[in-house]
Copies of this chain bind each other. A is one copy, B any other.
Amino acid sequence: MRKSVRVFAPATVANVVCGYDVLGFAVNAPGDEVIMKLTGGTGITLSKITGDDGKLPLDPEKNTVSASVKHYLDYIGQPDLGIDIELHKKMPIGSGLGSSSASTVAGLFAVNTLLDNLLNTKELVPFAMKGEELACGYGHADNVAPALMGGFVLIRSYTPLDIISLPFPENLHAAIVYPEVDVPTKDARQMIRSKVLLKDAVTQWGNVAGLVSGLFMNDYELIGRSMTDILVEPVRSILIPDFYQLRELAMDAGAIGFGISGSGPSVFALTKDAETAGKITKSLQQHLKDIAINSLSFVSEVNKKGPIILD
């Protein structure tokens, strides 16, 4: 039995434009790392957090990683197991890329590895959702499910939880650009209206069904046509500098579809190859630079593995 493990868990793009709260996919970069050790003592300690600019709590009850690991240990009947956690943030916080999710998932995958995979990956999702509840005030699964399972994931239902892995074209890539402006997830959620027109909801679920069909059919055009959001994007895009210009630049550079990642401010495009994704990030970062906004960018194929053990 292992005494320690180092795990990487990936960033994720939730919603995928039309699939608010039900769709998400993982990417290979960025992501977070957790180093976890069995201490032989009692209880959870958080000995180190790096890369967070001091933003995250070291109190094990308040930190999402340790809190969700605690839920896991309670569930498996080893509530007092001695565990030390190091969290190495390798991605921006509050970026809309599932930062809390990547940390939480790395922690849960690590503890489950140390305990000889007592649970299967899908069974870890509810524990990761507890972490999201602590981080965002809302236990959504559209980041943690793809971070745990890799690839594209559909959350068909929350009660009961019903998670479906979706196929996707082999060469599907994502171009991600994070404009360094502040959009807290809680605020971004509160901007969304609680009531919508039925006819707009019909438009939306036609697109959700189209996107899912496109993924099964390896039909890039259908995937692209379906990446339309008339309910949430019009509100959330207000917080993102030059959102519609960024979309135009991405589409002009060959994106099959473009939108907000999660609650933003990161934006993403899907492409048929890495080269196009690279062109897109270059074009979008140049535009942001021209309007004096710093940005980070990431190019990755859609992640096929979920979390990985580094050593």
Q: Could you tell me which A residues sit within 8 Å of B by CB distance?
A: 19-23, 154-158, 162, 164, 166, 192-199, 201-210, 212-213, 216, 222, 225-226, 231
Contact = CB atoms under 8 A, between A and B. Distances in A.
Given A194-B199, A212-B216, 8 more contacts: A154-B213, A156-B210, A164-B222, A195-B197, A196-B197, A204-B205, A209-B212, A213-B216
Nearest to A164: B213
Given A195-B196, A226-B156, A22 B206 contact: yes
A205 B203 contact: no
Nearest to A156: B210
Contact of A157 (B157, B192, B207, B231): B207
A154 B209 contact: yes
Indicate how many identical chains form the complex. Answer: 2
Contacts of A216: 212-213, 216
Contacts of A222: 156, 164
A57 to B, nearest CB: 30
Contact of A193 (B155, B198, B203, B231): B198
A196 B203 contact: no
Contact of A201 (B164, B204, B212): B204
Given A194-B198, A205-B201, A206-B154, A166 B22 contact: no
A14 to B, nearest CB: 12
Contacts of A226: 156
Contacts of A208: 205, 208-209
Contacts of A210: 154, 156-157, 162, 164
A278 B68 CA distance: 50
A156 B219 CA distance: 14
The 6 closest A-B pairs by CB, nearest first: A156-B210, A205-B205, A201-B201, A216-B216, A22-B206, A205-B208
Instruction: Choose among A208, A222, A226 the residue with the greatest number of B CB atoms under 10 Å from its CB.
Output: A208
Contacts of A21: 202, 206
11 contacts: A23-B209, A154-B206, A156-B209, A158-B203, A164-B222, A192-B198, A194-B198, A194-B199, A196-B196, A205-B208, A216-B216
A198 B198 contact: no
B19 A209 contact: yes
A162 B196 contact: no
A144 B154 CA distance: 29
B231 A198 contact: yes
A202 B154 contact: no
Given A157-B210, A198-B196, A205 B19 contact: yes
